[in-house]
Each structure stands twice: as C-alpha cells, then as structure tokens.
Amino acid sequence: MPHFTCPQLPLDGLLRRAAARAPHAPALTTGRGTVTFGQLDAHADRIARFLAARTAGRGPVVVGVAAGLDALFPAALYGTSRSGNTVALINPLADESTLHHLCTAAGIEIALVPAAVAEPLARIRGRLPLLHTVLVTDADAGGAVPEGALALHTVLDTVPGEPYTPPAAPDLSAVVCLQFTTGTTGRPRGVRLTHRNLVANAAQTALAQGLGPASVTLNHLPLFHLMHLNSAVYAGARQVLCHDPDPVASLALAARAGATHYYGLPARLHRLAADPRLDTAREGIPAGPRLTALMSGGTALAPEAARRLHHVLGVPVIQGYGLAELSPLSHMQRPHDPVLPGAVGPPLPGTQCRVVDLRSRAGVPAGTPGEVQVRGPQVMAGYLDDGGPSPIDAQGWLSTGDVGLLDEDGRLFLVDRIDDVFTCDGHLVSPTGVERVIAADPRVADCAVVAWPDAEHGAVAWAGIVLCGPPGAARHTARTLEAIVRDANGRLAPGERIHRAQALDAVPRTRTGKPERQALRESVRARAAAEAGA
C-alpha cells in the first residue's frame, strides 16, 4: 500500500485545527455572507455544549442533522461530534416514508433540521417514539417552527459561548457518523463511519485534489457532501456554496469568488456542456483565471460533455469513484489523465484496489472485467443492519458491487453495477456501455438499457429510448426507433446488440440522476413473462 499517514484527530478536530491555524480565514461563503473558521468553530462549540448537557449521563445518542447546503450543517456536524454523540445524516429532500425509515433505523433522538424537514417530521413524530427534540435550524431566516419543535438560534442564545472541551478524548475507531446509501435497489442502508474513516478520507482527498489554504472550492450541489466539506476543512480552504441551479450562473460565481476547484453533479455539467452560453465563457467572467479543475461525481459524466467543457473552459474535467461505504472516495482522475469512458483514475493515497472474477473470486489480469474491491483506512466499520454477510473480508477488502477493470498503470475503469450487468451468450454486457452508444445518436434525448430474459441467449438488451421532441410527437414512431437501433447495433458487439426497443416519454431517474433500473427491470420482466405465457 502506498505510504499514507492519517492525522490522529477526531472528526471535529479538523475544524478545531483549522480555527487554531487561521481563525480569521474565510471558511464558508453563502448568500447570507462569509463565516470564518473561528466563527464556525465557536458555533460548533455552542451546539456541542447544548447537546452534551442534553445527553449527559446517557452515553452517545444519535443526532439527526440535515445535510443542507448552508453554514449550519458543518457547525452541527462538528458540534455533534465534539459533544460525544453520533451524527445521522438526513437528506433534506427526503419524503415522509424515507424520513421515517432513517429516523427508525438510526434511532434518532434529537434532530437539527430546517423547517422544510421539521414539518414532515412533525406529521410522523407520533410514530417515532425515540425522537424527543426537534430543533429548527433556519427559524432565524423565517423558517416555520412546528408545534413541539424549538428554534435552534433561540436555544443557543442561552448557551455559554466559551470553548467546549469534551471530558475525554474520543476513541478514533468509534462510529461518529451514519451515512445512508442512496437506496436505488431498496431501502437506504445505514453505513457506520468512524472518526478515523472520515479524517483519513479528508486527508486523502485533499492530497489527491491539491487542496491547500489558498484554495477556493465552488460547490454547485443541491446538498452538502461530507467529502467536499471535510477535505476543504482539512486543507483550510474556503468553500463557496452555490444555490442557483443555473450552471452558467454558477461559473460566474466561481469566477467572482476566485474559485480554484469547481464541484458539480454530472446532470448539471451535462446541461452546462449543452448550453449555448458556454461559448462566451472564455471571453467573459465564467471560467475565471484561477480555476484549475471541474470535478464531477455521483454518476458517470458523458465523455462528450467532458471534452466540450475542457475545450471551452481550458481546464481538466475530473471524475472520481467512491461509495458511502468508502467515506466516500477511493479513486480520482488526475489532471493529466485522458477523458475515456468509464475512467475514474488511480486509487487515492493509502488505498489499494483489485478486481476479482465474479464467480471464482480470484484476481483477474489487467484489462479483464470483474468485481472491484477496495482496501484502505476509509473502509467503513460496517452496516447498521449487520444481520447479513459483510461485504468486507478478513483481510479488509470491501467488495463494492461494481464491475470494473484495471489498466496496466493501475487506473480503474468502471463497467457497471453487478446487479445491472447481464450475460448474453456467455459474454458480460454493460447496460451503461450500450447506453453510451445509443445516446450518441442526435435523435436520442435519453435512454436506459436493461436485460430482457431470453431462453436462447440467457438475456438480450432492451432499450427504453426518449426521442428528441415533445412526448407523443410524430417522430416517436417505430420507424425512428428501428433506425436508431440499426445504427447503434452497427457499433455494438454481438452480445451487446439491442433486441428490443421501446419509446419512453422519460427515463425514470433518482434525485442524483441515476436510472431507476430496478423499476425498469421489473417492468421488462413482467412483459417478457406475459409474452412467454401468451
């Protein structure tokens, strides 16, 4: 394993150290102003003191914190850690059913959430017997305080402002955070992350991305992400939070802020690449003279979009790979890496990666697809529901559930999820790879591919295709689909070729832009079974 030294700090120690080194340096800039590291640390202290008093003598309790893109989230995250309690991250966009699941699975007793989350919590609170305190984090900005909840700013006004020191140093191997998976194939699972997991990944990410005290990161994200927060605080970098969904406006903000690193979701970067206003970016303010990289994560960014952004803005477009189970990052492209389909770069410092055969579990040679396994200090402690078999073996290797391959230089290329790939005539087929070929057709607005059961071949490719133009337009015809399939099949290997195609009004997707393959698979299997029984 490459040499890597993990800082011996608790999670909140990242903020304490940054505040001690540069208390007056800007930590966060939002639409409401700029907060320094010293101010952020003081706010975390007040939250820690309140929570410590609220939970005194009861051992660690679980505090739900909504990961909103605001200055309160880091104060609550680090404050909860400092109080000796455990953070459970809440997606502020979650519906009531998901909120109930998260609160129940994590055992949340105290919640620090905006009004938009406090209101649905109030409606289901009768079914959450452990939840006894709800603090509304944006009440000072006009957020409503439901009956039975409290305004956080009012509560903290009664808390002494002196620095808070925990009575005992935390065990760095103790679980400090519960991060839930996206739940694309079922209920979100709670991932148990330790102080060491998160601090190690903060250091690994900062090293790989070249973050330092002079760095300015622009977060064009709908939610706060632990990776971006912790790596920036570790480095003492300033973060600029952008709420405007317009990707061109976010570039303009990046330029005004002097951003060095820009973080965006693939769906937003895809829209940016297709926006005709992008062509003026070099001449005006959008790209900015300090910007060194655009960084994409969550799902794969189409190579065509990455190439266009690189060509117009003149900066590398970098993709990475990780999972909630990896705190969350394990791989990242470097600025000099070529833009290739599926490429996510080499492992982070201190991280090992190997690829094993899906059946025998033996290692496979470079260039051969198999399941990706990762080992390093960022590998989770386990799941909340540890009743099933662990994905971590006795040697510390985490089986990711992703299919990929390594090149001769150790760079990882992703193929697909194990649940998504299928076998046709004995050959492994990647739906994502087939989708890339279909999506290159200018007549296609969107597409998704899943397996259609087939007695002769095992399975064949079914494609749901959204055609350009309004839903129901005349161009949504069998002839158009036939032409698209014919052209795509001319560029696909025999086992990848599309045997079934259907026009869709829209591809069902998750909030992060991933296709809802499970729903598509169930629909396709039902149709195949109906045809077989006819």
Percent of the chain with pLDDT over 90: 71
User: Could you tell me the pLDDT band of residue 426, with boundaries at 50, 70 and 90?
Assistant: confident
Query: Regarding the domain delimited by 344-418, which CATH topology (the fold level of the hierarchy) does it fall under?
Result: Luciferase; domain 3 (2.30.38)
Does the reported pTM lie above 0.85? yes
- Locate the DSSP E strands across 232-367: 238-241, 261-264, 293-296, 317-322, 329-332, 343-345, 352-356
Between residues 472 and 21, the one the model is more confident about: 21
Task: Domain ranges for the chain, please list them.
Answer: 36-194, 344-418, 422-533
| Whether 427 contacts 438, CB under 8 Å | no
Strands 26-30 and 33-36, bridge-based pairing: antiparallel
The 8-class DSSP code of residue 496 comes to G
User: Could you tell me the pLDDT band of residue 205, with boundaries at 50, 70 and 90?
Assistant: very high
Q: Which CATH code, of 3.30.390.50, 3.30.300.30, 3.40.50.1370, 3.30.110.40, is assigned to 422-533? A: 3.30.300.30
Mean pLDDT of 376-390: 89
> Residues 70-127: pLDDT tens digits?
999 999 999 999 999 999 999 998 889 999 999 999 999 999 999 999 999 999 999 9
Tokens of 10: 């608790």
User: Could you tell me the pLDDT band of residue 158, with boundaries at 50, 70 and 90?
Assistant: very high
Q: What is d(CA 511, CA 143) in angstroms, rounded to the nearest whole number? A: 24
CATH number of 36-194: 3.40.50.980
| Whether 74 contacts 160, CB under 8 Å | no
Cα distance from N-terminal residue to C-terminal residue, the chain? 57
Q: What is d(CA 522, CA 464) in angstroms, rounded to the nearest whole number? A: 13
- Locate the DSSP E strands across 342-441: 343-345, 352-356, 370-375, 382-383, 398-406, 412-417, 422-424, 427-429
Residue 136 buriedness (CB in 10 A; 0-12 / 13-18 / 19+) = buried
